[in-house]
């Protein structure tokens, strides 16, 4: 499969929360890759300002948007009770830093419609989606505006559902990937143990360009997923420590130091499974309930205070299973190190 849609097999994953920056996208392009910006957690105005900044730099880029889970905006009484119990559990964590745990809120759809409207009015080259299907009408409207649309999936069943909406490509995320899972259907049996294996499974089911995501930590891993049928690979964790990354310094240091020895998927920080280095917060809250983004808002003051205190034990230290190979320096050099192996 050609990677002509992207003109490069290296794509910098969109990393919400400030990690993805226009400077990071620029450095990735200088190294021969394609970068994505992340609209998640940003206001529509902040998203469009970042698009304007990237355009002013003359760089190619895509924008990633979170698809809201409408069921999470009106949870059942039982789900609400589980989240209230977790809120109480978090009060001791908040007291450690002298901050308060806010009241639960269920009104945050991440400004979904306003962001879609803005991307139709001012189209970018690529728009990718995570956490669900954007809907056929949204896909078509973005394509009509001039954007190539990429939907994130984690299984063959999700790939088949996404393909029905007519996107231009699929980002296929394996469970080894850092940060949030893109999954939107209940997990079925038989996910491959490797990213390349999952690509091969999806390749037999859909005839769309595939972007591999998950533990693409060096050039040989990139070569492996391309051989399995991917058009490109999406790389996140390997870029977090770079100088152009907007990640918190405590996060960068945690990835590079000896203190942490494993990753795990946890709902403790946001109410949605995400792969993180295992720190005290992950260990102390093994039974955090589902509830995204409500729980994200509950833990936000704790994470901000931990960051200000330089305490990595209560930060969401997102990391894929290949985190040990993440390097400091320029993202341009990281991208070149991947591509030089091909």
Residue-level pLDDT at 38:
98
Q: Is the pLDDT of residue 2 over 60?
A: no
Q: Is the pLDDT of residue 337 over 70?
A: yes
**Centroid of chain to Cα 201:** 22
Q: Is the pLDDT of residue 282 over 70?
A: yes
DSSP reduced 3-state for 165:
coil
Q: How far is Cα 339 from Cα 6, in angstroms, rounded to an integer?
A: 14
Segment 209-251, tens digit of pLDDT: 999 999 999 999 999 999 999 999 999 999 999 999 999 999 9
Residue-level pLDDT at 145:
98
Reply yes or no: is the peptide bond before residue 245 cis, omega within 30 of 0: no
Percent of the chain with pLDDT over 90: 96
* Residue 189: band (very low, low, confident or very high) from pLDDT cuts 50, 70, 90: low
Q: How many CB atoms lie within 10 A of CB 70?
A: 10
* Residue 192: band (very low, low, confident or very high) from pLDDT cuts 50, 70, 90: confident
247: left (phi over 0), alpha (psi -120 to 50) or beta: beta
In 3D space, the residue among 127, 327, 124 whose CA is nearest the CA of residue 244 turns out to be 327
Residues 35/28, Cβ–Cβ less than 8 Å: yes
Residues 36/128, Cβ–Cβ less than 8 Å: yes
Segment 290-326, tens digit of pLDDT: 999 999 999 999 999 999 999 999 999 999 999 999 9
In 3D space, the residue among 295, 302, 297, 257 whose CA is nearest the CA of residue 277 turns out to be 257
* Residue 190: band (very low, low, confident or very high) from pLDDT cuts 50, 70, 90: low
In this structure, what DSSP letter does residue 208 have? Answer: S
Q: Is the pLDDT of residue 3 over 90?
A: no
Angle formed by the axes of helices 195-205 and 156-163, nearest 10°: 40
Residue-level pLDDT at 116:
98
Please give the average per-residue pLDDT across 95-119, as a whole number. 97
> Is the pTM value of this prediction over 0.95?
yes
231: number of CA atoms within 13 Å, CB side? 21
């Amino acid at each position: 499969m050609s990677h002509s849609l992207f003109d490069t097999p290296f794509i910098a994953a969109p990393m919400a929360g400030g990690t993805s920056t226009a400077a990071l996208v620029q450095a990735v392009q200088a190294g021969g890759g394609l970068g994505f910006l992340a609209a998640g957690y940003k206001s529509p105005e902040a998203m469009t300002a970042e698009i304007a900044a990237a355009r002013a730099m003359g760089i190619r880029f895509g924008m990633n948007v979170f698809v809201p889970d409408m069921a999470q905006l009106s949870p059942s009484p039982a789900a609400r009770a589980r989240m209230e119990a977790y809120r109480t559990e978090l009060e001791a964590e908040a007291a450690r830093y002298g901050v308060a745990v806010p009241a639960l809120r269920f009104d945050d759809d991440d400004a979904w419609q306003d962001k879609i409207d803005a991307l139709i009015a001012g189209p970018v080259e690529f728009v990718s989606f995570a956490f669900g299907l954007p809907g056929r009408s949204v896909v078509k409207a973005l394509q009509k505006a001039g954007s190539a649309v990429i939907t994130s999936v984690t299984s063959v069943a999700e790939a088949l559902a996404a393909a029905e909406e007519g996107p231009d490509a699929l980002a296929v995320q394996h469970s080894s990937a850092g940060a949030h899972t893109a999954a939107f259907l209940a997990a079925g049996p038989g996910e491959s143990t490797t990213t390349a294996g999952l690509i091969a499974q999806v390749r037999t089911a859909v005839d769309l360009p595939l972007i591999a995501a998950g533990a693409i930590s060096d050039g040989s891993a990139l070569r492996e997923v391309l051989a399995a049928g991917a058009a490109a690979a999406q790389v996140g964790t390997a870029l977090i420590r770079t100088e152009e990354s907007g990640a918190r310094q405590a996060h960068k240091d945690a990835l590079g130091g000896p203190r942490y020895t494993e990753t795990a998927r946890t709902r403790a920080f946001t109410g949605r499974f995400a792969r993180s280095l295992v720190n005290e917060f992950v260990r102390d809250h093994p039974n955090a309930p589902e509830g995204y983004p409500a729980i994200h808002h509950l833990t936000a003051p704790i994470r901000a205070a931990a960051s200000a205190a330089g305490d990595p034990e209560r930060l969401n230290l997102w990391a894929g299973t290949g985190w040990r190979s993440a390097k400091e320096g320029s993202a341009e050099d990281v991208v070149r190190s991947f591509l030089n192996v091909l």
